[in-house]
């Protein structure tokens, strides 16, 4: 996952245009943005641009958050449904981000 995140920062796998498209919110016919790009949830975390992807299968939960403008990526894996990987992710993010 670290190698994948690293590759998202340059043109080895995806062009700059592809990354921009992937991390740009889709827009509905009425003009509303949906906060979702090609496989990524797009939002803000503590006022910073965030791109996220998560998922689960039986007994396994994962969350991948990138704060590209901060140069920060946080990847959390858990072998439990009950584990709140987003809460863990946020604790880690807060440890690395400056106070607001």
- What are the structural domain ranges in the chain? 2-96
Least confident window among 20-24, 58-62, 78-82, 83-87: 78-82
Q: Which residues have a Cβ under 8 Å from the Cβ of 8 and sit 6 or more positions away? A: 14, 19, 66
Taking only the tens place, the pLDDT of each residue in 23-35 is 999 999 999 999 9
Burial 59-83 (b: 16+ CB within 10 A, else e): eebebbbbbeebebbbbbebeeeee
The pTM for the full model equals 0.86
């Amino acid at each position: 996952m670290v190698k994948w995140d690293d590759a998202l920062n340059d043109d080895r796998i995806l062009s700059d245009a592809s990354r921009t498209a992937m991390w740009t919110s889709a827009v509905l016919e009425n003009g509303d943005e949906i906060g979702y790009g090609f496989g990524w949830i797009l939002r803000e975390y503590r006022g910073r641009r965030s791109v996220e992807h998560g998922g689960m299968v039986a007994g396994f939960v994962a969350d991948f958050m990138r704060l590209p403008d901060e140069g920060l990526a946080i990847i959390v894996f858990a072998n439990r449904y009950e584990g709140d990987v987003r809460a863990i992710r946020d604790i880690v993010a807060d440890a690395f981000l400056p106070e607001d």
